[in-house]
Amino acid sequence: MQLSIKKLGKNNVAIIYKLLHDSLLVLIIFFIFTLIAEAILPDIIISHIGFSKIVIALLLNIFLITFLAGKISIENITQKNGGKNKSLAKFASPFIILGALLLFNNQLGLNLFLNLFIILICGIIGYLSYQILFNEE
Amino acid sequence: MLDLTKEIKLDEKSALRYRRWQAFFYAFCFASALYVAYFIFFPTQEFNFSFTMLTSNKGNAVNPRTTEGTLITDGKFSAGQKNYFDTSLVGSFSKIKLSFTPNRSSSSPENTRIDLRKSYRAFLYPESSPIGFKNGTLVKHKNDYYLISEGKRRKFKDRSTLFALGFSESAFIDTDEQDLSYTPLDEEITDTKIYPADSLFKIDDVYYRSSTDGSLEKFSSAGAFHSQYEENFAIPKNADFLDAYAVAKNPIGFADGSLISYGTSAFIVSRDKIYPIGNPDIFLNQGYDWNDIIIASSDELSLYTKEKLFTLTSVHPDGTIFFAPDTQKWYQIENGQKHELPSEKIANSWLKKHPISVLAKSLDVLGGCDLQKETFGGYACLIPLNDSEDTAGKYYEFTFMAKNDLKINNLNLLYEKNMTVQNLKLALRNMILRIKARYGIQGAPQ
């Protein structure tokens, strides 16, 4: 594997690494689109492409990005992206809203207030879990 | 152009290569999206039956069988013997491709004719003798008044007997001799003290029916009574009337073929069984009407044995009534047979809900094709489906008679949709209707 990477050349590895990011973006968009479409009209996508295939493709893509990240030549990297990262809250907010909408949609048959209550409880549990698992202090 | 990894620097030549690959990749994704959209808007449905690997057939509904209904699992089809296979599916399709893969040792199935009928499965049952009025029905012809009791027609001796027993003259349905002829005549009603079997009573808003042993059977609810009879069939009585009769332990439930609901579940009633309906799509595609649902109590539900899920491939149970608008005929399903209800009045005596509408022409062959050799091994043919859409019913029954003894390895059915603007519009319309139905928006199919 090490030899194959060397054979590819540093620029080719960088190109593949960049293309993998493009494919990850496409896969994430497709995954979110599938979630929304399935929530509105069940079976519309997964009767043609199973969720497992999409998830496996996503995981494989992430694995390859992680693998290639360590192989990229240092001269290809101009700057660390740490400083440019948006805050987690800004990044996570669209996903939290989407998650809440999907959860609400999933419980359409329930009483409105019970539905909202369940979403609130899920939100609290999610927040507390995050605090416990990822808070460094 | 979009660059998600600006921190990764490339020399000019590599950057150009990346741009080219990126453009190719996004073009590929766009083409893939169109391909997925094509399958969403013009879906195909495939059914396969492998005679060489029977375990792979689980969940598939091809069901190859003989006229007697015996499942064919060895792939052997005898010459001159009629064979059947079937599928049930929702959606409008333009054509069906039927493919037979014969065993090497088999003779050729070339030019074997395959015919298609599309209907409801139970509607394709063989037709048996017609049925007359339902027990408990009150009918009259000229000056003769009858009660249908135990499958027979019992004439009241005279009007005074009828009044003495408490029957209301207005409750009797005026009919003709032809309709009466389907119910054999029995002993005359002369006694004004003893009620014949199948007389109906209403006591303190509770409904009863007299049984053959002289006792009374109580209806489980007013809903159960009205699923079987008209309100005016019941003779109003005071509570002391019950002193003279024993009341049977088990109450009478809903009419066979009734739709009942409990919570969010809907069931079809047949005899002492209830069939839970899989989902709203199955409910609609099996021809039922939301307005026919009767809300049942938990006590009423406990009167029945719950059967396995009623799906698109399920047969309508006993008591189901079909109406063919093209011939204006009614049919009732009983014990694997279809009995005609010879007139609207007879049908109405059984029917207190909407019948399941299906065209009588669905009993005829709607299409067919002759198997032809394909370039790569198998034999196949196409059946166009243009005429079969309006018949109602989602059950496709195929019949064929092999000219020679055949040994088939694989049987495949592919339902396809032509890529036309009309089909695209239809697909979009169906999607909108399904979304409306899912969210309970007005205008959704009921």
Question: Given the DSSP bridges, would you call strands B95-102 and B45-50 parallel, antiparallel or unpaired?
Answer: unpaired
Instruction: Decide: pTM greater than 0.95.
Output: no
DSSP per residue, B124-168: GSPEE----PPTT-EEEETTEEEEEETTEEEEESSHHHHHHHT--
pLDDT of residue A78: 65
Inter-chain contact A77–B36, Cβ cutoff 8 Å? no
Question: How far does chain A reach from its first CA to its final CA, in angstroms?
Answer: 39
Distance CA B289, CA B266 (A): 12
User: Considering CB atoms only, which of A41, A76, A80 is closest to B9?
Assistant: A76
Chain B: residue whose CA lies nearest to A75: B9
The number of domains in chain B is 3
Inter-chain contact B7–A77, Cβ cutoff 8 Å? yes
> Does A40 contact B at CB distance below 8 Å?
yes
DSSP state of B284: H
Q: What is the mean pLDDT of chain B?
A: 91
Strand locations in B325-390, DSSP E? 329-334, 337-341, 356-357, 367-370, 372-373, 379-384
Inter-chain contact A15–B9, Cβ cutoff 8 Å? no
Chain B contact set for A12 (CB, 8 A): 14
Inter-chain contact B40–A14, Cβ cutoff 8 Å? no
B164 within some domain: yes
Q: Which residues contact B208 (CB under 8 A, 6 or more apart)?
A: B200, B201, B202, B216, B217, B218, B219, B247
Chain A contact probe: residue of B1, B4, B5, B430 with most A CBs at under 10 A: B5
pLDDT one-digit tens code per residue, B350-395: 999 999 999 999 999 989 999 999 987 799 999 998 755 567 888 9
Q: Same domain for B132 and B110?
A: no
Inter-chain contact B7–A75, Cβ cutoff 8 Å? no
Chain A: residue whose CA lies nearest to B4: A21
User: Would the pLDDT of A46 be above 90?
Assistant: no
pLDDT of residue A89: 65
B148 within some domain: yes
Confidence bin at A79 (pLDDT 50/70/90): low
More confident residue, B104 or B438: B104
Q: Same domain for B30 and B86?
A: no
Q: Same domain for B19 and B50?
A: no
Q: What are phi and psi of A90, to 5 degrees?
A: -65, -40
Q: Same domain for B399 and B414?
A: yes
Q: Same domain for B210 and B340?
A: yes
Beta bridge partners of B100: B379, B411
Inter-chain contact B18–A109, Cβ cutoff 8 Å? no
DSSP state of B383: E
Average pLDDT over residues A58-67: 91
Q: Same domain for B1 and B131?
A: no
Q: Same domain for B164 and B296?
A: yes
User: How far B230 CA sits from the closest chain A CA (Å)?
Assistant: 35
User: Considering CB atoms only, which of A14, A78, A81 is closest to B14?
Assistant: A14
Model ipTM? 0.77
pLDDT of residue B446: 43
B446 within some domain: no
Distance CA B148, CA B111 (A): 55
Question: Given the DSSP bridges, would you call strands B293-295 and B259-262 parallel, antiparallel or unpaired?
Answer: parallel
User: Would the pLDDT of B242 be above 60?
Assistant: yes
Q: Same domain for B114 and B134?
A: no
Q: Same domain for B225 and B154?
A: yes
Per DSSP, the three-state class of A34 is helix
* A65's tokens: 């990005």
Chain A contact set for B438 (CB, 8 A): 40-42
User: Considering CB atoms only, which of B18, B29, B438 is closest to A15?
Assistant: B18
Chain A: residue whose CA lies nearest to B41: A44
Q: Same domain for B324 and B226?
A: yes
User: Would the pLDDT of B165 be above 80?
Assistant: yes
B443 within some domain: no
Cβ(B322)–Cβ(B333) under 8 Å?
yes
> Does A29 contact B at CB distance below 8 Å?
no
Q: Same domain for B402 and B295?
A: no
Average pLDDT over residues B253-264: 94
B293 within some domain: yes
Distance CA B44, CA B107 (A): 30
* Residue-number span of the structural domain to which B9 is assigned: 1-41
Range of A80-94, A108-122, B55-69 with top mean pLDDT: A108-122
Q: Same domain for B168 and B102?
A: no
User: Considering CB atoms only, which of A15, A49, A109 is closest to B264?
Assistant: A109
pLDDT one-digit tens code per residue, B408-427: 999 999 999 989 998 899 88
